[in-house]
Structure formats: C-alpha cells, structure tokens
A = this chain, B = another copy of it.
C-alpha cells in the first residue's frame, strides 16, 4: 500500500484555481459560490452573477471530484472524538485540515463523552449541518466510540479508533513502529534490549510487544506497567536490583515511560546514551524534547493519518469507491539524543 499524498500537477507556472479562490474573489462563502455556479440555492441574482463572473475571470475549471462535491456538498467535514484531552485527535485534525483546506473544506471537531444518548445528539447535530462526511476518532484503537455510525447518509472514515467490520479504517502500524525501534537499537550495536511498556489490556501494547519479541529473536524481556513516568522509574529499579548483565538498551512503550527511565538512570549515574540507549514511542513534543537527553522516539504520524482520512472521506463523498478494511500507516523513527547514533542516510 502506498500512502504518499497525491500531488496534483498542472502547468509549470499556472496555479490551479480552486472554488475557494472564486469564493474569495466574489466575497462569498465557498458553499454560496458552489450553489451560484450550479444554479441552485437561494441568493440574489446580483450575487450569482458576481460569482460566475469571478469564476470566469479566474478561469475556474472544477475537476471531477470538485464537480461532484459542488453539486451536492456543504464543504464541511465533521470530526468526532472521545479523546477530550486531544493528545491524539489534535495532530490528526491538523492533518485533516491540511488536506482539505485546499478544497475549501472546513473541519468541525465535536467531542463526545461516553454517554451514548449525548453522543447521538452531537452526531445528529452534525448531520443536521449536512456535513459531507464524518471522521471518527478516539484515544485507543481497540475501543469503539459510544455511538453507532453505520447506516448514516454520509460517508464515515475511522481513524485511530476501533471500526465496525466493513468500514474504512486507518491506524498506525504499531508492529512496524516497534520493529523500527528495535532495528535502530541493533544498528547501534545494542544486544541486551529490554521492553518496558504499558498495560497488557491495550491491543497496541500486545502488538508492539509481539513485534519486539520477534525482532530481538526470542530472547526478549517485556515489563508491563502503566503509561507513566513513575512506572519508568520503578522498572529501572527492578532491572537494576537483580544481578548479572544489565540491559544496554530500553525500548519504552511511550515517551512518558521513557522519560522516567532516563531520569532514573541518571540518578543511578548510568549514562544515557553511552551505557544505555533509551527509545520512546509517540514523539509527544512536550515530553520527548524536554527529557535530558532529548528522546529518540517513534512517531505514529497522526498528521499523515489525518491527511489520508481527509482524502478518503472526500473521495467517498464524491462517490468514488474505497476498499473497506483496516489500513495500517507507517510510523517513523525520530532521532534525538537518547540512543546515540546519528541520522541515517
């Protein structure tokens, strides 16, 4: 599967004119511009003429998708999430916005709690606003949102949340990210690699631990705990309280654990990265960049996931066929200083 962003080519010096350029030139909203060009909707004749004139002056030629959208759509996409902290949803939303803004499409985020009746009210509000599609998101990939989104009259794409069967769904490739972390540690010459991670009840924890075990060749050791700095401290205590060879690398299930591990090692006068390489998961800037030394980590590329979700929901809205099923998007190694080594290439 290839998920590179589609590049729309045009002549070398001409910039494609989009519906929103027409809307801006005519001083109206994108939706009004589209209605004007399609001779639908209610507006004064003066407004309709002004839009058409602007389109003509600018040489506006809608492409196939745009034509589909213009005829039937409202130029808004709803993003629904129960991640009220925004840790996962906001990077995703940034990607969706980035992908859609060039099409003149706005993204509206609506957060829901775990009350199904209230969740339904918010979904109904989105449908009342005639969104072109809904992107459903969450805070973990093995839990469904507390509301049924099947059989709506608009397309739904699931991103970073559990999807029903036969849905179009996007998640990051946890196993691939885990492999990438371990391979990087092996490239740096590390041989005694331990995995300190979150609760076993998370599907992504099991997925990453499984890929870790395969990558280290069966000799691995996995410590399950909580998603916290404190657990990182405790894990180091456990690992350093037994005799024998100590690990020369610790692969952590998230950046908070990794920060706890790095702090605990420093307090034991174990040098990171000289004696032990530490790698995180998430690339959560506030944690990864403030750790001393700053964390090398695996980025789940949630922004890219958002871009792809935006592209797919618009494709569905335009009547294109999109294969259902779960798409796993690649994670990315972000090299800072906690493992040693330099950027490959």
Contacts and interface: CB of A to CB of B under 8 A. Distances in A.
Interface of A: 20, 23-24, 28-32, 74-76, 78, 84-86, 90, 93-94, 97, 101, 104, 106-111, 117-118, 120-122, 124-129, 228-230, 256, 259, 286-287, 290
A109 B125 CA distance: 13
B118 A101 contact: yes
B106 A107 contact: no
A85 B109 CA distance: 14
B106 A109 contact: no
Given A23-B124, A106-B126, A108-B108, 4 more contacts: A32-B128, A86-B86, A129-B129, A256-B286
Contacts of A74: 128-129
A29 B125 contact: yes
Contacts of A287: 286
Contacts of A120: 24
Copies per complex of this chain: 2
5 contacts: A30-B121, A74-B129, A76-B125, A106-B122, A228-B290
Contact of A110 (B108, B228, B286): B108
A147 to B, nearest CB: 13
A216 to B, nearest CB: 29
A289 to B, nearest CB: 9
A30 B97 CA distance: 28
Contacts of A84: 90, 94
B75 A86 contact: no
A127 B75 CA distance: 12
Given A97-B111, A117-B24, A121-B104, A85 B76 contact: no
Contacts of A110: 106-109
Contacts of A128: 29, 31-32, 74-75
Most B Cβ at <10 Å: residue of A30, A84, A94, A106: A106
Contacts of A125: 29-31, 75-76, 106, 108
A30 B124 contact: yes
A88 to B, nearest CB: 11
Nearest to A109: B109
Contacts of A94: 84, 111
A279 to B, nearest CB: 19
Contacts of A109: 108-111
Contacts of A93: 111
A110 B221 CA distance: 45
A25 B75 CA distance: 31
A63 to B, nearest CB: 19
Contacts of A127: 29
Contacts of A29: 121, 124-125, 127-128
Contacts of A107: 110-111
Contact of A106 (B20, B121, B230): B121
Given A29-B127, A110-B109, A90 B86 contact: yes
A287 to B, nearest CB: 7
A89 to B, nearest CB: 8
Contacts of A31: 124-125, 128
A256 B32 CA distance: 46
